[in-house]
Structure 1
């Protein structure tokens, strides 16, 4: 024999069903809104490569490094800022120093390797492709 559903069980089922429907509705409306009104791509004008705030931030961390040359936090932040600005050459010496300070840190070594590969790729792009002479 089955017991008749109590009021609490019916209430729980109604709440679950309404929650599912509302979740589906809000998800679908968001997707439809994104498809009908796509956001324009951010332009390069909105994000200048280096802004004044970042320059001041780098200068502040440089002052810290003058007093504490082995300050990992300052070096990490300088590397981070340079990488955000796609300035690999400026990030390289600081990353090399971080690897020197903590050679056991695998993440530092991987980032250093990536920076070096990026610099090499930039060099290859700057050099015109030589066509083989026939």
Structure 2
């Protein structure tokens, strides 16, 4: 019995030592790999003048993907929501409008969709109406005098 217990103790110690050595080996190899093959992110400073353009093209690709989903499933709620979000990220209220209208049509009980539709419609109205100049009142002296 003592031999069995002693054998288990030796096995545990060998296992712990091997585990520790393998941990050290893999840690050191990862650090050496990072030193030998450094990977730098591509930014404007590193020669990529298209920093914002790549984000825009990514949005364009996502929009195309979700529109293809809508060809097969015209009432896909997730695709419609993402299209609204992506168009709003681009600042394209006109592009977001048909998708939010479809969401309101499909889910009329969802108040969030109705609120977003109202906000988009207000934004489109604000874009269409030129800002009018405020009438000046000659009797009121300018502030600061």
Match of 2:101 among 65, 90, 96: 96
**Corresponding residue of 2:21:** none
Q: Count matched residues.
A: 86
Structure 1 runs of 4+ with >4 Å offset = 128-132
In 2: Cα distance, 1:131 partner to 1:114 partner: 24
Larger radius of gyration: 2
- TM-score w.r.t. the length of structure 1 is 0.58
In 2: Cα distance, 1:47 partner to 1:122 partner: 24
In 2: Cα distance, 1:94 partner to 1:119 partner: 15
1:111 aligns with 2:116: yes
Show structure 2 runs of 5+ residues with no match.
1-49, 136-145
**Corresponding residue of 2:87:** 82
In 1: Cα distance, 2:123 partner to 2:132 partner: 18
Show the 5 A alignment for 1:1-134: 47-48=52-53, 51-125=56-130, 129=132
Higher RCO (CA 8 Å, separation ≥ 6 residues): 1
